[in-house]
Chain A
Amino acid sequence: MRTEIRLSGRGGQGLILAGIVLAEACGVYEDKQVVQTQSYGPEARGGASRAEVIISDGQIRYPQAYDPDILVALSQPAFDRFAPKIKKSGLIFADSFYVHTDRKDVVLMPFSETARNEIGREVVTNVVMLGALSAVTDIVKLESLKKALKHRVRSAFLDLNLRAVDAGYKLGKEIWKKRSS
């Protein structure tokens, strides 16, 4: 089984780090095969940025997403560009603050607002998003994400990131519950 995840948004939103943490959580701490790639422009901040993670039980040859099973969009341009290009059965998660859409199938979540209001730092939006993904999909366990964060995030910022991933997980559960009821 091959699952393709595309994380998209602006440069500076930490999407590549999110891709690395997700890939490491699945690949190192859950023994799956993963490949993580990214695409970016010349800008260090702003511009378009995306990271892709392919998760599979078997060897992964073609390393990029054909049509993703899961799309995360943290900016309007990224949403407009990538939302039409997902699998029929695919899921789209978009940031409710930065993305506006009438599409009812899109799951809007306040990733950036949760980061700002609950954690006090918008910079951890990417990690809130990972926590929420873990709550609403079966691609990765919360514990694996935490292990990967411990490895990838500098110790001074670890506590902040662990709180963010928990907040995201809680957010995901709540929204999913509302959506299913």
Chain B
Amino acid sequence: MRRLVSGNEACAEAALRAGIRFFGGYPITPSTEIAELMAEELPRVGGVFMQMEDEIASIMAIVGASAAGVPSMTATSGPGFSLMQEGIGYAAMTEIPVVVVDVMRGGPATGLPTKGSQGDLQQARWGTHGDHPVVVFAPRGVEETFALTLRAVDVSERLRVPVILLTDEFIGHMREIVSFPSRVEVYHRQRPRVASSEYVHYAEENNYNAPYASYGGGYAIHLTGLTHRADGFPINDAPTIRWNNERLRAKIEDNLAYLEDNYIDDDPDADTLIVAVGSSARSAYEAKLLTDKPLAYIRLLTLWPFPDATIHRLARGRKRVVVPEMNDGQLCREVQRCLSGDTELVSVTRNDGSMLTPQEVLEVL
């Protein structure tokens, strides 16, 4: 069925369809519509919407609800996302699945509440202290917001990691014609099948689809943000610290193939590669279509983990790599790591609350 739907509406609808049954949030433009829709819809499906006292409480409430077995989510924008960072680190360390939606707006500080930006690309990866696993998806429009919200919940529940969905004001408030699938597959986290005495909360194995206990399940689990052993209790000796860190890293690195997701439009004759993400990729692709020059193009649907190898392969032997984005060059820095030889890197940025136009990209092509 064809419908006119906004990005924020698509996000809320997908979250409900994916089985999110707890939402803790705090009002902030331009993400508020997600909270409002969840407040209306969650009680109808027996779920709970909580307006918490701030964003710190919001992230911790969803961590708590998820630890008690209920798929949980929050949505916010820049200032609130900054406040949530310690909680995101806690979810990463304790391996509690949560989905955090960041509808990006101009920053820093209060910045531009009603105008979009892509200023949180790096904060989404490195916002909390310490090395930590995190998965970040970035849709370019309404239909993809639906699809990637579903995927965010799925990956979060399967891998026991916080997953961040990075949209922006342009996408969140934009309405497009969509037809969502009538059926979606939902993964339900698996409870342990062993006796309480046999159960190890952080078993040494690939996390993908591993069963894990929740509060109230009779397993007397201990969750702590301290560096811990496999049984969850804090420890201070170097080998166990290494084991803990390694485990968190491996859950992303062992699953790279499963997590990576790009749209690639390669052209063997092209001497220029465009690397784009999110809403500004719309202008980048339009620019590609407006010129007769052969161009190679990659758009990252999974921003983190970053597709180093894929970009390296696509950029190899090309003269130039063009990176358009709506910040001061956060994506460009990352692409730079993946280049070798004398490939020239061209950063196209716009950071004034307006959308990057195809013409601005075209100028450098």
Let me know if chains A and B touch directly in the complex, using CB atoms closer than 8 Å: yes
Binding site for B on A (CB under 8 A): 20, 23-24, 27-28, 31, 33-42, 60-64, 66
Q: Is B144 an interface residue (CB 8 A)?
A: no
Q: Is B358 an interface residue (CB 8 A)?
A: yes
For the complex of A and B, the 8 pairs showing the least CB-CB separation, nearest first, are A27-B177, A61-B286, A36-B175, A24-B4, A61-B282, A62-B286, A28-B2, A37-B174
List CB contacts (< 8 Å) of B123-178 with chain A: 141, 170, 173-177
Cα distance, A61 to B3, chains bound together (Å) = 18
Q: Is B283 an interface residue (CB 8 A)?
A: yes
Partner of B114, one of A23, A40, A63: A40
Shortest distance between the CB of B114 and any CB in chain A (Å)? 6
Residues in A neighbouring B175, C-beta threshold 8 A: 20, 23, 34-37
Cα distance, A64 to B353, chains bound together (Å) = 13
Partner of B170, one of A27, A31, A63: A63
Interface contact B114-A41, CB-CB below 8 Å: yes
The answer to whether A36 and B174 touch (CB under 8 A), given A27-B2, A61-B286, is yes
Shortest distance between the CB of A103 and any CB in chain B (Å)? 27
Cα distance, A33 to B177, chains bound together (Å) = 7
Cα distance, A28 to B283, chains bound together (Å) = 25
Residues in B neighbouring A42, C-beta threshold 8 A: 113-114
Interface contact A35-B2, CB-CB below 8 Å: no
Which label, helix, strand, loop or mixed, suits the secondary structure of the A interface? Answer: mixed
Cα distance, A33 to B176, chains bound together (Å) = 8
Residues in B neighbouring A27, C-beta threshold 8 A: 2, 4, 176-177
Q: Nearest CB to that of A32 among chain B residues?
A: B177
Cα distance, A56 to B282, chains bound together (Å) = 15
Q: Is B346 an interface residue (CB 8 A)?
A: no
Shortest distance between the CB of B50 and any CB in chain A (Å)? 25
Binding site for A on B (CB under 8 A): 2-4, 113-115, 141, 170, 173-177, 279, 282-283, 285-286, 289, 355, 357-358
Shortest distance between the CB of B8 and any CB in chain A (Å)? 13
Contacts A20-B4, A63-B170 known; 18 new A-B pairs at CB < 8 A: A27-B2, A27-B177, A28-B2, A28-B4, A28-B177, A31-B2, A34-B175, A34-B176, A35-B175, A35-B176, A37-B173, A37-B174, A39-B114, A40-B114, A42-B113, A62-B282, A63-B176, A63-B355
Shortest distance between the CB of A49 and any CB in chain B (Å)? 11
Residues in A neighbouring B279, C-beta threshold 8 A: 63
Cα distance, A27 to B174, chains bound together (Å) = 14
Q: Nearest CB to that of A60 among chain B residues?
A: B176
The answer to whether A61 and B285 touch (CB under 8 A), given A24-B4, A28-B3, A37-B170, is yes
Instruction: Report which residue of B175, B282, B289, B355 has the largest number of chain A beta carbons within 10 angstroms of its beta carbon.
Output: B175
Q: Nearest CB to that of A64 among chain B residues?
A: B355
Shortest distance between the CB of B319 and any CB in chain A (Å)? 25
Q: Nearest CB to that of A29 among chain B residues?
A: B2
Q: Nearest CB to that of A21 among chain B residues?
A: B4
Cα distance, A141 to B331, chains bound together (Å) = 44
Cα distance, A161 to B358, chains bound together (Å) = 38
Partner of A23, one of B4, B113, B173, B289: B4
Instruction: Report which residue of B176, B279, B289, B358 has the largest number of chain A beta carbons within 10 angstroms of its beta carbon.
Output: B176
Q: Nearest CB to that of A31 among chain B residues?
A: B2
The answer to whether A36 and B4 touch (CB under 8 A), given A23-B175, A42-B114, A62-B357, is yes
Residues in A neighbouring B3, C-beta threshold 8 A: 28
Cα distance, A23 to B173, chains bound together (Å) = 14
Cα distance, A24 to B3, chains bound together (Å) = 8
The answer to whether A63 and B2 touch (CB under 8 A), given A36-B175, A39-B114, is no
Residues in A neighbouring B355, C-beta threshold 8 A: 62-64
Residues in A neighbouring B358, C-beta threshold 8 A: 61-62
Cα distance, A62 to B355, chains bound together (Å) = 9
Residues in B neighbouring A41, C-beta threshold 8 A: 114
Cα distance, A33 to B178, chains bound together (Å) = 10
Residues in A neighbouring B4, C-beta threshold 8 A: 20, 23-24, 27-28, 34, 36
Interface contact A61-B283, CB-CB below 8 Å: yes
Q: Nearest CB to that of B354 among chain A residues?
A: A64
Cα distance, A75 to B101, chains bound together (Å) = 36
Cα distance, A62 to B361, chains bound together (Å) = 12
Cα distance, A98 to B282, chains bound together (Å) = 37
Q: Nearest CB to that of B140 among chain A residues?
A: A61
Residues in B neighbouring A38, C-beta threshold 8 A: 173
Residues in A neighbouring B173, C-beta threshold 8 A: 37-38
Residues in B neighbouring A66, C-beta threshold 8 A: 357
